[in-house]
Amino acid sequence: MSFYYTRIVHFQDTDAAGVVYFVNVLAMCHEAYEASLAAFDINLKVFFSNQEIATPIIHANVDFRRPMFCGDELNIELMPKGWGDDEFEISYHVFLKEIGEKWTARANTKHVCIHPQTRTRQKLSHEMKTWLLSF
């Protein structure tokens, strides 16, 4: 199962050449991640400000097949996968709505669960395990 997020490319997402700046694709993917958490009733304010548990990104990459421009409507497919008790990975496929099935960009983020103060690994929360298992 996947989660889908729709978004319009804004002017601020583009560079001087008028195409989406590469870093902004990762930002859009992160928006999809946040939307998926919210769709599973995870309180984003609590999740991102929790003093006991955090899941920072430890690796990210993005590949491009074709440019995206201001006004393009995107469908972002999110597919998370758990790796043990304390980390997970999310694969994203970004599609231009007008083209359909061929991805225009794909990205990947890897997250690890830590205690925010000690920065030591710890097990994922019950709500994150439930979120991961729902896919």
The C-alpha atoms of residue 84 and residue 59 are separated, in whole angstroms, by 17
Written as one string, the DSSP assignment of 95-131 is EETTT-SSEEEEEEEEEE-B-TTT--B-PPPHHHHHH
Catalytic residue among 15, 63, 85, 86: 15
The C-alpha atoms of residue 35 and residue 19 are separated, in whole angstroms, by 24
Told to judge if 13 belongs to the known catalytic residues of this protein, a careful annotator would answer no
* Tokens found for residue 121: 């690994």
Q: Which residues are catalytic?
A: 15
